[in-house]
Amino acid sequence: MRKDCRNLLWVIGKGGLLGSSLLSRLNFHQSEFNLWSLCRPFTWNEPDILKKQIREQIQFFQIKALNFESWVIIWAAGAGVIGSSDSALEMETQYFRFFINELQKSFSEKLNRGRFFLASSAGGVWGGAQTFPITEETPTCPISEYGKQKLKQEETLIKLALAYPQFQVLIGRISNLYGPGQKLSKPQGLLSQLCRSVLLRSPLNIFVPLDTVRDYIFAEDCAELILRALKNIPLALPDKNLILKIFASEDPVSISTLLHQLRRLTHRDPIITQPNHSLTVQQPKELFFKSQVLLDSYTCKPLIEGLKQLLDYQESLLQAGDLPYPEAI
């Protein structure tokens, strides 16, 4: 049987902001990637069911992969954020380790035909950095359990890469994602929360100073850069199977600048409150990044354009009666 020259692609976490953005950008990479569409969403809140699902789907994926020259798995799953309980964050790491162990058992020597991308957190693992810009060479220094667990997930994948020198691993440390479709139920996504606050004219609690600096990358831009990196690894770094890369806009802004941009777009003043909160100590004053690995000429969307697109999306939800009001804290 002649094998498909494309890569069989499995996106885990396709319902999230990054996962859905990856699916959207795949339309521009159909010559390279063939999406495995038979996978089913995992039941994350039922550990025994989840483990059974992981075993079964890895076996199905392995069988399907026999028809392809190579395969790619993208792990974009994870509901944890800074401030999530330690137990919830530890559970996510346990699930990831279980997946990697089952992948190794099922594929064995066939791992050498595959590539794996892990979505990690630049802000989480470098939360305590003191020198800027942060590059791939900057020592990790997490100041939250979230960042510590992201490093443990990375370490799990690194061990596998070291055991299989032909198995290509890309760890992506991603700055702050934003864009249409971000879940507003989680205490993250400042840009999404700000847009909703302005549209609904509801107050928003911000637990850090307004001169706090972050890097915000539009989700579809990040997805595009990830797919391009996965496609280019074999050519750009043929003798290296373990790669760490920062995915960021590299255009840091303060929260006060965000508020100014929103006023410019909406002609409204966001209603901001700044109460004391335990999360404040887990949030560094500034974070900005400069990647030195797998450089790409792709230009990310300017913040003002991304904010406009996000506002238009939430405006459409509001008009349809589908923009949820924030829960009381």
pLDDT at residue 2 tops 80: no
pLDDT over threshold 80, residue 279: no
CA separation for the pair 133, 287 (Å, rounded): 8
Instruction: Express each pLDDT in 147-193 by its tens digit.
Output: 999 999 999 999 999 999 889 999 999 999 999 999 887 667 999 99
Cα-Cα-Cα-Cα dihedral of 75, 77, 83, 88, to 10°?
A: -100
- Range name among 102-106, 130-134, 181-185, 263-267 with the lowest pLDDT average: 181-185
Is the predicted pLDDT of residue 267 greater than 70, yes or no?
A: yes
Residue with the two structure tokens 């006060």: 256
Residue 171: per-residue pLDDT = 98
CATH level 3 topology of 4-177+216-247? Rossmann fold (3.40.50)
**Domain residue limits, the chain:** 4-177+216-247, 184-214+250-288+302-319
Whether the pTM exceeds 0.85: the reply is yes
Report the topology of domain 184-214+250-288+302-319.
UDP-galactose 4-epimerase; domain 1 (3.90.25)
Asked if 133 and 215 touch (Cβ cutoff 8 Å), the reply is: no
CA atoms of 122 and 88, how far apart (whole Å): 20
Q: Is the pLDDT of residue 233 over 90?
A: no
Bridge pairing between strands 213-214 and 253-254 = antiparallel
Average the pLDDT over 279-299 and give the result: 88
Average of per-residue pLDDT across 86-97: 96
Gap between the Cα atoms of 118 and 43, Å rounded: 20
